[in-house]
């Protein structure tokens, strides 16, 4: 995970969302991060809602990625191609950015689900240990 170095915070490189999610995933997979089920389920529900919203935006954006009817002439053809590329094909297009955002949301959702499982596994392990120690 990213920890800011002392000094000017504007000079510190800012990690991407993908880098942060990868760090979260590694922390969860190593068992260092757990999340109680009640809080985790609330967070998971919010992530699912956001994923559904992004899916809706992507579905509607797909309808925008078609040639604009600007006439059958060289300028109209080039402008139509330019608009189409910006709608879908460009690396910084809405569709590309939203697709990357959706992937980050899905990875975060998966990490939250794993953190809940980690909590439950530790809770079960400690419960078994307490039962064994109490002699029941």
| Predicted pLDDT at 4 | 38
Q: How many percent of the chain have pLDDT more than 90? A: 25
Report the candidate in 38, 62, 52 with the shortest Cα–Cα distance to residue 120.
Answer: 38
pLDDT digits (tens, 9 = 90+) for 40-60: 899 999 999 999 999 999 988
> Which three-class secondary structure state does DSSP give residue 102?
helix
Q: How much is the mean pLDDT over the chain?
A: 81
Span 66-106, pLDDT tens digits: 676 777 888 888 887 777 777 766 777 788 889 999 999 99
Q: Domains in the chain, ordered, with CATH?
A: 37-126 (1.10.287)
């Amino acid at each position: 995970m990213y920890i800011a170095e002392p000094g000017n915070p504007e000079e510190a490189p800012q990690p991407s969302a993908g880098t942060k999610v990868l760090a979260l995933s590694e922390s969860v997979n190593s068992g260092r991060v757990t999340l109680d089920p009640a809080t985790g389920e609330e967070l998971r529900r919010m992530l699912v809602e956001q994923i559904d919203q992004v899916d809706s935006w992507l579905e509607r954006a797909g309808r925008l990625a078609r040639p604009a009817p600007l006439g059958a002439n060289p300028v109209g053809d080039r402008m139509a191609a330019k608009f189409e590329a910006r709608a879908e094909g460009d690396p910084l297009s809405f569709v590309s950015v939203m697709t990357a955002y959706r992937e980050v949301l899905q990875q975060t959702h998966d990490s939250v689900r794993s953190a809940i499982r980690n909590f439950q596994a530790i809770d079960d392990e400690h419960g078994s240990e307490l039962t064994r120690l109490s002699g029941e």
